[in-house]
Amino acid sequence: MIEVQDLSVRFGEAEALRRISLTLTPGERLGLVGESGSGKSMLGLALMGMLPEQAAMSGRLTIDAHDLSGAADREWREMRARKVAMIFQEPMMALNPLRRVGDTVMEPLRLHLGLSKSDARRRALELFEETGIQDPEEKLRQYPHELSGGQRQRVLIALALACDPGILIADEPTTALDAHVALRITDLLTRLARDRGMMLVFISHDLAAVARTAETVAVMYGGEIVEMGPVGQVLSDPKHPYTKGLLHARPTITGGELRKRLPMIPGNVPALADLPPGCRFSGRCAVELPHCAGTRPAIHAVGGSRSCACHRVPEVMDGAME
């Protein structure tokens, strides 16, 4: 169980995360989507207690009833091994080039579970099998450069699962992989989460991958969650203008022909320090009102378990903007 309440992360004046609140129940799979710089990776790191040193965090963060709001690194280290684990974007970079991958996976087993060398090896072998690595015996002895990208990502997943964590945070795990391999990795993550009853936080800018993997989706923009809800509902019937824009900008095949030019959201994501004080999306929003840039939108409940942070939500709900 993860509970995040009004979590903010500041770097001096710049607010990288603002007022994030979310709850994850055991076994839930959450997708975090957003553009680069939307704060989705920052949120992932905050859940791992791995924010950069200069970052100042406020708000509440509770994992399995442990209040980790102001936890020391020692406390986090215990959490990281057994409760939360993470996999990264670049499987090429995330393995020590000088160590056999088997040793890398065995390390947390020996360190945190106190397994003997032969037990750790056996467990690592099981993990390799579970993550679908071919010839696991042989792969244990290999170095990262001898493995393909997909295999390395599987090794990293095995490493993350070593101490049987309740939560797995996957930070764009498929971005560096080709489409076919990416699909197999997302399916593997979904299966593992389901089989193990593990919470999965799937961070991605790929809406299709999120739709395939997650049950709940949180759309992030400018360090805030602008819209959240069951993935099917949010993607088929977006409420926030940003989500609408994001979905609109997807390439789709209509009438058997790819649209020539993709519609886009005007403008760029502003630098962290230049974000408007009110609604972060003001300035790029198609349905903006004069007070949007100055006033923070409240988080409105929009039916069922959905929420949306937009001043115009009531009107959106009425369908006045369609």
Partner 1 sequence: MTTRAINLRIGAFLVIVLSAVALLSLVWTPYDHTMLSVTEKFRPTSAAHWLGTDQLGRDVLSLLMAASVNSLAVAFIAVGVGGAIGTALGLTASACGGWVETAIMRLADLGFAFPALLFAIMLAAAFGPSLSNAILAIAFINVPIFARVARGAANQIWTRDYVLAGRAAGASQFSLTVEHVLPNISAALIVQATIEFAVAILAEAALSYLGLGAQPPMPSWGRMLNEAQTLMYLAPQLAIYPGLCIIAAVLGFGLLGDGLRDVSDPRLARGRA
Q: At what angle do helices 117-130 and 101-112 cross, to 10 degrees?
A: 120
Among 1, 111, 181, 183, binds partner 1 (CB under 8 A): 111
94 contacts partner 1 (rule: CB under 8 A): yes
Whichever of 75 and 215 has its CB closer to partner 1, that residue is 75
Three-state secondary structure call for residue 18: strand
48 contacts partner 1 (rule: CB under 8 A): yes
Among 23, 26, 56, 93, binds partner 1 (CB under 8 A): 93
Whichever of 9 and 161 has its CB closer to partner 1, that residue is 161
65: its two tokens? 């009833």
What amino acid is encoded at 312 in this protein? Answer: R
Q: Are 17 and 42 in contact, with CB atoms under 8 Å apart?
A: yes
Q: CA–CA separation, 313 vs 322, rounded Å?
A: 12
Instruction: Quote the least distance from Cβ 107 to partner 1, whole Å.
Output: 7
Whichever of 116 and 305 has its CB closer to partner 1, that residue is 116
Site for partner 1 in 153-182 (CB under 8 A): 156, 159-160, 162-163
42 contacts partner 1 (rule: CB under 8 A): no
Q: Label each residue of 249-269 as H, E or C.
A: CCCCEECCEECCCCCCCCCCC
Among 35, 64, 90, 288, binds partner 1 (CB under 8 A): 90
Tokens 């809406």 -> residue: 207
Site for partner 1 in 50-89 (CB under 8 A): 50, 53, 77-78, 80-82, 85-89
Q: Label each residue of 31-48 as H, E or C.
A: EEECCCCCCHHHHHHHHH
Which spans of this chain sit near partner 1 (rule: CB under 8 A)? 48, 50, 53, 77-78, 80-82, 85-90, 93-99, 107-108, 111-112, 156, 159-160, 162-163
